[in-house]
Amino acid sequence: MKDVSIFILLLFLLILFSGCDDNGTPTIVEFRGNPIKGSITGVLGLGGSPYLAVETLIVPAGSELIIEAGVEVRFEQGIPFEVYGKITAHGTESAPITFTSGLTYPDRGDWDGIWLIDSDPASSFEYCRFLWSAKYGNRYIKKTENGQLDSTLWEYGSITCIRSNPTIKRSWFLVGGFHGLYCDTSSNPTLENCVFYENAGHGVFVHPTADPVIRYNIIIENGDYGLFCQMEGVDSRADIQLDNNIIWSNFSGEYNELSPDLLGRVDQVNGNLDSCDYRYNLRLNPGFTKPEAPDWDFHLDPWSAAIDAGPEDDNVQDADGTRIELGIYPYYYRPGEIRRLLTVDRLESARSPYYMSCDVYLPAGNNLTIEPGVEVLVEGLFRFRSVGRLVSNGTADEPVVIKSALGDDGLGDWIGLIFEAGGDEGTELLYTTIANAHIGIHLNQRDAIIDHCIIEKSDSVAIFCDDYAAPDIFDCIIRDNSIAGIICKYNSAPEIRRNIISGGDGYGIFALEHSMPIIKNNAIIKTATSGLRFENLSNATVHNNTIALNGYFGIFCENNSSPDIRNNIIYRNGTELRGGMGIIAELTSRPVIEYNCFWEHPVSAVDISEDTTFSATNIQVDPQFTDVERGNFHLKTGSPCLTGGDPNIDQEMGAYGGPGN
């Protein structure tokens, strides 16, 4: 008997979901949802989901409909949902409520949207998705007292408010055929933490006397304006309760010409120091994870300007206790994550490693100390910008390390440390390794102490001194940086002492545009072009350096650059086909060349102008290094360079002589 019952049930289901083609062959019809129509009240439960509206749905005046979390309501083509009573549709982050097209291949405007007409003001939506609704065109509105057709409405949305004030939170208005939200003259809805994306019309349409509360939303990529204010006259609207939103990249613009004049005009910064208008609205990329169909993932990437962009109000916070995010999803910081505005005063070794998940900014007046042993791993093409005072306090045994999170071999995996003009003095980088950046350290009109650091594997420059920058760069290892170890530009005057600068595809030190570096007691070896290059009125002090085994020249001077070159050992630079000279000076450059040792240059020791003196104090002998093959450029006992130097400086030439060796 049981087997017979099961057979009858299966046969019934087969008949229910089958049909016949033109040849009479049975075919399976796709199940699209449990049919619903007409007046609906009470609870629309998850157990019957998905539902398919086959005729207009109506919540009558004085009645209430509750829709459970996770429910999906699909609509046949052209079907509206009219609410005259109260609707409560509260999904959750993990189980949102979905209102969508019932067609197998949906398109914009498949159904007619949700209409709140003289509805209960306690109506509310939370974690709801509105998809493929609001077909472009006109629609008749019923008069509620007699049900007769009254007038034509030329504008409407996925939700249309007619004399209604619902609350709509953390909801999606996606790919609608007309506007996202429509507010008529007597509607004042509250709209919080929603996303309006790729609707064919405006994101939000506001009538002249409507006064909605619109805050913490993201309105982007819509086919017309982000916010459209309609006016009866020609004057702009005086104001609107539009606060802490991102409105960006909408086809016609963010706001139409009748919106309040100051909307969108940058005149201040928010708590993240991002530029915004007088009501803290931003015009920045919100940084969604993957908003395109079919993913429609509106979580925020770590670099998003929407994170912590809400008001500084203890009553409006995220679950993690920080300022509220814009858009649907809160952002939760990972342990050790640092991003955007740095307000802490210390990175602690006990909490290391730290993860830099987007640009980081240390504002003026803030002091940040990085403890010994801290590791900062940079997770993308981000920069660490500092206007405040940074002290990276590594030691020989426990250095601070700032490098790419992608691995040790990458070049240019992140932007670098940027010390901006006008910042606080007193920055110190001690026993700090900086690796895999585009520019390891960029100083603009800033001083700093860079001591016992390793800066390596930049795809541009290890240290860029720009626009009167004058750091002290002492006892560092600067290696395998693509363009140069150190660049000095626009009147920069760093003091560069006791460093080993090696490898890379460019220069050891490149000074240009009136720069005047002091270069003493450095070993500059095995760069691909020149150990030192001076251009455009750059007159350096070059004393007691060892400049050896560089690809083209030891020192290259051009365009009126006349450095003072003394007590250096310039050894075996270039080849017969590539440079092959110790010093070359061109285009009215007249360096002072005294008390230097030159050896084994395939072309010549120097190539200088006739009015530049190659002093008899220079010698051309084997300096007798301890072990060139192993990179030991100390001098052997008996080396002629131990006694051939300038007696006013030190008789020992090279990197290990002189008063600052």
330 inside domain: no
- Domain, as residue range, for 509: 480-661
* Range in 122-131, 336-345, 393-402, 461-470 the model is least confident about: 336-345
Q: Tell me the average pLDDT of the chain.
A: 92
How do residues 257-297 score in pLDDT, each as one tens digit? Answer: 999 989 999 999 999 999 999 999 999 999 999 999 999 99
Residues 121 and 270 in one domain: yes
Taking residues 594-618, report their average pLDDT.
Answer: 94
pLDDT digits (tens, 9 = 90+) for 213-265: 999 999 999 999 999 998 766 678 889 999 999 999 999 999 999 999 899 99
Q: Which of 602, 540, 529, 592 is nearest to 571 (CA)?
A: 602
pLDDT single digits (tens) 444-502: 999 999 999 999 999 999 999 999 999 999 999 999 999 999 999 999 999 999 999 99
C-alpha–C-alpha distance, residues 139 and 129, integer Å: 23
Same domain, 546 and 619: yes
Residue 527 binned pLDDT confidence (cut-offs 50, 70, 90): very high
CB 622 within 8 A of CB 638: no
pLDDT at 19: 43
Q: Give yes or no: residues 487 and 409 share one domain.
A: no
- Cis amide prior to 294 (ω within 30 degrees): yes
Q: Which of 22-26, 56-60, 206-210 has the highest mean pLDDT?
A: 56-60
* Domain final position from 427, 459, 491: 459
Report how far residue 595's alpha carbon sits from residue 597's, in angstroms, rounded to the nearest whole number.
Answer: 7
Tokens of 12: 């019934």
- Taking only the tens place, the pLDDT of each residue in 33-57 is 999 999 999 999 999 999 999 999 9
Average pLDDT of 611-635? 94
Per-residue pLDDT of 150-191, as tens digits, reads: 566 778 999 999 999 999 999 999 999 999 999 998 999 999
Tokens of 83: 């609410």
Which of 136, 140, 91, 89 has the alpha carbon at shortest distance from 117? 140
Specify if 210 maps to a domain.
yes
**208 vs 121 pLDDT, higher one:** 121
Other C-beta atoms closer than 10 Å to the C-beta of 314 total 8
Gap between the Cα atoms of 45 and 51, Å rounded: 10
Classify residue 569: in a domain, yes or no: yes
The pLDDT, as a whole number, for residue 138 is 74
Given a cut of 50, is residue 541 above it in pLDDT? yes
Of 239, 271, 298, the domain-final residue:
298
- Alpha-carbon gap, residue 56 to 36, rounded angstroms: 9
% the chain with pLDDT above 70: 93
Confidence (pLDDT) at 611? 81
Compute φ and ψ for 557, nearest 5 degrees.
-125, 135
* Residues 144, 82 within the same domain: yes
> Do you find a cis peptide bond into 50, omega within 30 degrees of 0?
yes
Is 1 a member of any domain?
no
| pLDDT tens-place string over residues 402-411 | 999 999 999 9
Q: pLDDT tier at 550 (50, 70, 90 boundaries)?
A: very high
pLDDT tier at 13, thresholds 50, 70, 90: very low
Please report the pLDDT score of residue 8 as a whole number: 31
Mean pLDDT for 595-613 is: 93
CB of 386 within 8 A of CB of 418? yes
Q: What is the pTM of this model?
A: 0.86
Q: In this structure, how many other beta carbons lie within 10 angstroms of the beta carbon of residue 661?
A: 14
- Mean pLDDT, range 347-365, rounded to an integer: 96
Contact assessment for residue 45 and residue 51, using Cβ atoms and an 8 Å cutoff: no
Q: Are residues 133 and 245 in the same domain?
A: yes
- Do both 598 and 515 map to the same domain? yes
391 shares a domain with 346: yes
Give me the DSSP letters along 421-449: TT--S--EEESEEEESBSEEEEEES---E
CA atoms within 13 A on the CB side of 379: 16
Residues 596, 645: Cα–Cα separation, whole Å: 7
Please check the confidence at residue 636 and state whether its pLDDT lies above 50: yes
Q: What's the confidence (pLDDT) of residue 14?
A: 38
| More confident of the two residues 13 and 289 | 289
Using the structure block, give the residue that is written with the tokens 């609350």: 167
Could you tell me which of 193, 187, 197 has the C-alpha nearest to residue 125? 193
Residues 290 and 353 in one domain: no
What's the burial of 5, exposed, middle or buried (CB within 10 Å: 0-12/13-18/19+)? exposed
Query: Residues in the chain, how many?
Result: 661
Q: Let me know whether 220 and 142 are in one domain.
A: yes
- Residue 82: inside a domain, yes or no? yes
Mean pLDDT of 123-143: 86
Residues 317-327 have pLDDT tens digits of 887 788 999 99
- Asked if the model's pLDDT at residue 28 lies above 60, the reply is no
Lowest mean pLDDT among 16-25, 119-128, 556-565: 16-25
- pLDDT for the residue numbered 320: 76
Dihedral sign computed on CA atoms, order 632, 638, 641, 642: positive
Could you tell me the sign of the dihedral formed by the alpha carbons of 236, 238, 241, 245, in that order? positive
| pLDDT number for residue 259 | 93
Q: Is residue 109 part of a domain?
A: yes
The tally of domains found in the chain comes to: 3
pLDDT score recorded for residue 322: 85
The amino acid at residue 216 is Y
pLDDT in tens, 391-437: 999 999 999 999 999 999 999 999 999 999 999 999 999 999 999 99
187 in any annotated domain: yes
51 within domain boundaries: yes
Confidence at 584, pLDDT banded by 50, 70, 90: very high
In a shared domain, residues 73 and 159: yes
Same domain, 426 and 485: no
454 and 500 within one domain: no
**Last residue of one domain, picked from the residues 402, 428, 459:** 459
Instruction: Check residue 152 and give its pLDDT.
Output: 66
pLDDT at 147 over 60: no
